[in-house]
Structure 1
């Protein structure tokens, strides 16, 4: 087991390094952030503009070769130093720390909605297989999977904020501000949980021990919650955990549309402003969380099924 954990940790670290390296060199082709800090007033000469440009490059640490910048980045990262934001002139880590609680709150609420809404939907569909309720639940699941998140966010704003005036369009401040972002973020998870729970329940209900329990006269509710649901929930838990990395990608779009002050909107702003330190730290955070989630899943599976450890 120890060798398995070490092997998975090495693989996880390699994946994170590859992702950050790819982003490091990719973002360099998007433009020069030093040019954004240079004033282009009409009364300035070309020499003055060039001198300020060089000064800004030195200040941002962009005057060295890109390969040197790359190794300096990892050297500072190993010490927990990720530089200062080009845009806000404060440590990038401080920006992430300030925004992270908002993203966690939004993500956890969306995950809770996904389970609370998706699980009953799948159970109802399984218990009424082939009926109108089953078709309706399947239609909702398909809609939740295929609908673009940004389009759904705009539709919710138009309906509940602009037309009805029930909920705010953006920002934070009260519990009402998180409702629309959380609903938007949870749609894909609701659909996935409903689909998987329906399949799991149908499989569990077809097992001999469930049929035997019903034949003995046990109530349908008792059989469902004590036997079928318990066994069908394993696949649901797997799907919820494996869907968390997808939420990390979707949260960027949702936070931008609703102006939610989380790490997702911070990343979008940093990319637009070519704020390298913030972009790298965001990517490193998202990559580390994603790899950690799958690492935990691998370890749990390895403990449950010893064959995985020896593959």
Structure 2
């Protein structure tokens, strides 16, 4: 849905006045198509969410499911915050409702939701599940289940519990490495708990039982995982799978030591994958100049500030 009736707009405006979150600030990109919003929970914990408005009329909200994150991936700014707490399902939904209100003023609405903000969805599964039910409910947000994506670093038991039917959101796996050694270097917590072999075994089961495609997120980090040999190894890992590789260059942050590879490095990497029959797309960052791109969410608002 991109066009909303006047009656529905008025009804939603009434409903979204009662938020569990305190709105602190909206940060607009120079083009105006991306908005990063800073919130604070009622008990003072910071969270951030992002609205991305596309030319094809998609309005996608990147929601957080935690304040901070306990996983601590080395290339993600959110992990440097540490972990404050899980968000309730209402706090997750209220992030969407904030952007719904902004879009309603233009007669539009949120069309897509991605759980790719702060936090690991599989470690807050009960609240994420409840939030998805509200998002999908035809009497509430009424966003189709295929327009909802959950991204996880790979907590396999929880993935098996939740992604056990076709009527679940799209699945994205934060892979970011072609082998166990590199994954342990940049994603030490999850890689040691659930090694790459275990993760790919789940992928085999998911594809066979549900016949659904998995999106594999791959952040290119200069000198770490961006060389031709890494692309070749990744192609071998994903060959003959129902897979889409979503490649994005590392988004720099003042709290992280890594660098962004050049555009030609990105193009070379993607060309190798495509030439080896791996379905691959490039995701160019929206909101990187306002700290709202993938891996950049890192609130500087302290508790009770």
- Larger CA Rg, structure 1 vs 2: 1
TM over 0.5: no
TM range (shorter): under 0.3
Structure with the bigger RCO (C-alpha within 8 Å, sep 6+) is: 1
Return the structure number with greater helix share: 1
